[in-house]
Amino acid sequence: MLDVLLAIIPLYILISLGLVASRIPGLKGADASLNTFVFWFALPAFLFDSVATAPSGAGLPPSMFIVTFVATLLFFCVVYLGAVLLGLKRLAGPLAAAAGYGNVAYLGFPVILSVFGQQAALPMALAAMTHNILFLVGYPVLASFRQGGEGNIGRALLKAVPYNPTIVSVLLGLVFYATGWSLPGLIMTPISMMAQAVIPVALFAVGLALPPAIKALMNGGSSILAVLVVSVLKSVALPLLTWGAAVLFIPDPTGVLTGTLVLMAAMPTGVNAFTMAQEFDGEGRLVAAVIAVSTVLTLVTASVFGVLVA
């Protein structure tokens, strides 16, 4: 449990720094500019670097990737449809992304490695890549489709893919991953340096966005109930669903694969959900509130799941 807390606390410190900095007059509203930097530069660099250099998936059962993709996609769809049925159609995309997209890299990796050790590194990296592709390609396509109104999925793909830096970076990364190509160090080094900016800048931007998010919650501008429900769904319901699917469909005599997927699902809402919600729906503040609440819950829930699956 101490290892989980030690992995989470630094993230909270970065968010807290952004929260404190939001009181500085010159930084008010800076979260939008930082979000733009993350979305167009740091995040694409991180995604390309992560996907292109991911280890080989040889020896891992295909069912592991199917469970990761299908369980999370099903959960996303249920939350999305639930929000629509409750009259929250405008918030359905951000709420569903907040419920499904987890902090699988920045927080999940150190937590999983602390529980299972280096034997979890390979399944962890490839499951995270599957998870990221699902959301970082699927969410922009969904947003494009919704905004297009009468369009179709094909038109939405054509509109979303060529002009979205997250999609392009993932697809380029997959090309390099599949072919084994590599970029010269003169090019790869600045890409890696830019990728390292994702976690501090994005978390700092979340902290900057929290005061108006909290104010909106207190004034009724955002639903406190929606934030609490989505946070519980992310921290408890999704890992339980993933656990059940993994037990049913993944051959895993050591328990490492199942435990890895469960802990990944138990991670709080990822910062990139804030980035996407702000970029495509203008609802970053709502997701920032979910990130804060779900991260608090994770102090307890991830520790419990870590004990149960270890």
- pLDDT on residue 161: 63
**CA-to-CA separations, 120 to 48, 77, 112, 227, in angstroms, rounded:** 22, 29, 7, 32
One-letter identity of residue 157: L
Query: What distance in Å separates the CA atoms of residue 31 and residue 37, rounded to the nearest whole number?
Result: 10
pLDDT reported for residue 156? 57
Protein fold of 2-309: Na+/H+ antiporter like fold (1.20.1530)
Q: Is the dihedral of CA 38, 42, 48, 53 positive or negative?
A: negative
In angstroms, what is the C-alpha Rg of the chain? 18
Q: Map out the domains of the chain as residue ranges.
A: 2-309
User: What is the C-alpha separation between 9 and 16, in angstroms, rounded?
Assistant: 10
- For CA atoms 112, 258, 198, 175, the dihedral sign is positive
Q: Which amino acid is it at 37?
A: F
Listed residue (108, 145, 151) closest to 126, CA to CA:
108
**Which of 298, 226, 292, 288 lies closest to 265 in space, CA to CA?**
298
pLDDT by residue, tens only, the chain of 310 residues: 677 777 778 888 898 999 999 999 888 778 888 988 988 999 899 889 888 887 776 678 999 999 999 999 999 999 999 999 998 888 899 999 999 999 887 788 888 988 888 888 888 888 888 888 888 778 877 877 776 654 555 665 666 566 678 778 888 998 998 898 999 999 999 999 999 998 899 889 888 888 877 777 777 666 788 899 999 999 999 999 999 999 999 999 889 999 999 999 999 998 889 888 888 888 888 898 899 889 888 888 988 998 899 8
DSSP-derived secondary structure for 91-146: GHHHHHHHHH-B-TTTTHHHHHHHHHGGGGHHHHHHHHHHHHHHHHHHHHHHHHHH
Element of type H or E holding 304: helix 284-309
